[in-house]
Amino acid sequence: MTERIPEYLIQLKDVSRIYRSGSRSVEALKDINLKIPSGKLVIIKGPSGSGKTTILNIMGGLDQPSSGKVYFQEKELGQYPESELTRIRRKKIGFIFQTYGLIQSFTAFENVELPMRINHFSRKERRERAYECLKMVGLEKRADHRIFELSGGEQQRVGIARALANKPDLILADEPTGELDHNTSMKVMKLFKNLSQGGVTICMVTHDPAVMEYGDLIYEIMDGRIINEEVVVS
């Protein structure tokens, strides 16, 4: 039996997130309602400090809302046991972190291979897929370089290749083109567009206006609130 694909992979209902430390508190997200349609490229744009990283962490179950609900494949994330949440993150979600989150002393190849080790791919599959993913981001020639030997933009692309390794259903990308020049950014956006046309759901956050034309749906966030929603007809 084939699995029914839900219309929306993720839904946020009345999500708020307040960071508290001592007597100070920051309301980073305020009553957010949004839907991420399956197989689409969704862009959330907004200035620095508007809540973009916070929203991605909540979508991927890395952080919990202070109030409100998050649904992943129509089931509330809060109802999954921690072990199931971990399994979903490992198998179904590819994270591209704003700070890359790479292991510095590993090579590019080893970093990309790591999620496949965790998911018990065979050695041969890991090898082939790691090179394939590095090739997708134009880094096959840097496969054996350690992370600290790579430029910022190259490191960012290793982070993208690593997120693709497990063939996730969902990619959550935090400023994935932040360190890239215009041409390289456009190549990454074309790659994302191709992936979404092949059924992968992508949600990326950015403040880079140059990438907007690739989105199917664009949300604008300001001071923790969604202030605009735009469906792009192509």
Please report, as ranges, the residues that interact with ligand ATP according to CB under 6 A: 19, 26, 28, 46, 48-54, 98, 207
As measured in angstroms, the least distance from the Cβ of 156 to ligand ATP is 14
- Out of 11, 53, 156, 196, the only residue in the binding site for Mg ion (CB under 5 A) is 53
Nearer to Mg ion, 133 or 163 (CB): 163
Q: Please answer whether residues 174 and 100 qualify as being in contact, where contact means their C-beta atoms are separated by less than 8 angstroms.
A: no
- Dig out the tokens for 90 from the structure: 């490992």
Distance CA 162, CA 114 (A): 8
Question: Binding mask 82-101 vs Mg ion (x if CB under 5 A, - otherwise)?
Answer: ----------------x---
Distance CA 157, CA 180 (A): 9
- List the one residue out of 181, 182, 139, 183 whose CA is nearest residue 160: 139
Distance CA 54, CA 64 (A): 10
Q: Which residue is nearest to Mg ion (CB)?
A: 53
Q: Please answer whether residues 69 and 16 qualify as being in contact, where contact means their C-beta atoms are separated by less than 8 angstroms.
A: no
As measured in angstroms, the least distance from the Cβ of 88 to ligand ATP is 22
Q: Which one of Mg ion, ligand ATP, none is in contact with 105 (Cβ closer than 5 to 8 A by kind)?
A: none
Distance CA 176, CA 152 (A): 12
* Only segment of 28-36, 51-59, 160-168, 186-194 that touches Mg ion (CB under 5 A): 51-59
As measured in angstroms, the least distance from the Cβ of 151 to ligand ATP is 20
Nearer to ligand ATP, 143 or 173 (CB): 173
- List the one residue out of 37, 94, 46, 59 whose CA is nearest residue 216: 37
As measured in angstroms, the least distance from the Cβ of 112 to ligand ATP is 24
Catalog residues that contact Mg ion under the rule CB under 5 A: 52-53, 98
